[in-house]
Amino acid sequence: LCVYMRSWDLFLGAPFNLAQYGFLLALISKISNKYPGKLHFFANNVHIYENHVDQVNTLLSRKPKIMKPYVLLSENISFEYIENNSVTVSDLAQVKNYDPYSFIKAPMAV
């Protein structure tokens, strides 16, 4: 899956975007009965906002955790299932082996 980001906020946007497109890749792979390949990101105007510098420094001070998280997808997933139901994320998948640090609060830059 290739994703092009015209403008990318590395602190608030990137973690969410990586997770959402990784999940999309997993869903597409499951529906098409294929093994998920690679997720490629291409980005322009990659930035950190000035009002996030303290939060970024907090993030960088954390020791990385060794873990291998994965998404366990429901066996029900198909085009028909998604199209014909009010599907929620919990209906589709569970995240396993994920132990995040506490969140770092940051204001949305506009």
**Per-residue pLDDT tens over the stretch 17-30:** 998 999 889 888 88
Give the burial class of 52: count Cβ atoms within 10 A of its Cβ; 0-12 exposed, 13-18 middle, 19 or more buried. buried
The Cα 45–Cα 47 span in angstroms is 6
The mean pLDDT of 23-44, rounded to a whole number, is: 90
- pTM for the whole structure: 0.80
The Cα 8–Cα 13 span in angstroms is 6
The pLDDT of residue 87 is 67
Contact criterion met (CB below 8 Å) for 9 and 109: yes
50-72: pLDDT as tens digits? 999 999 999 999 999 998 888 88
